[in-house]
Amino acid sequence: MITTKQRAFLRSIAGTTEALYQIGKNGLTENLIKTLSDALEARELIKINVLETCPESPKQIIASLCESLGCEAVQVIGRKVCVYRPSTEQPKIKLP
């Protein structure tokens, strides 16, 4: 569980990054969850664009991701969600 101060720090980093992944009409699939898990291990903080065709809302998507990946929800703004999980091998982001 991250603190409010740590979440604010991660939000400031996420504001300058682009959304690297999209969730579309198929929703969350096993293949997509594996891809996002690998991306979290490499980057620690990822932003995802939830398309209009997605059957679930962005808040439902972020809840499902946090449950299946063991990550922390950083923010949901419109149709963009941002999640964080520290890397087990080489942590890159130092939280305050």
Q: What is the CATH number of the domain that holds 26?
A: 3.30.110.60
CA distances from 19 to 15, 72, 79, 81 (A): 10, 17, 11, 9
CB–CB of 10/45 below 8 Å? Answer: yes
- Residue 42 one-letter amino acid: A
Asked, for residue 65, whether it belongs to a domain, the answer is: yes
Asked, for residue 52, whether it belongs to a domain, the answer is: yes
Q: Residue 1: what pLDDT?
A: 83
Q: How far is CA 39 from the centre of its chain?
A: 9
Q: How far is CA 87 from the centre of its chain?
A: 13
Asked, for residue 68, whether it belongs to a domain, the answer is: yes
Length of the chain: 96
Q: Residue 26: what pLDDT?
A: 93
Q: The sheet that has 80-84: what strands, in order across it?
A: 21-23, 45-50, 80-84, 72-77
Mean pLDDT by 10 residues, the chain (96 residues): 94 94 94 95 95 95 95 96 93 90
Asked, for residue 92, whether it belongs to a domain, the answer is: no
Domain range for 8: 4-84
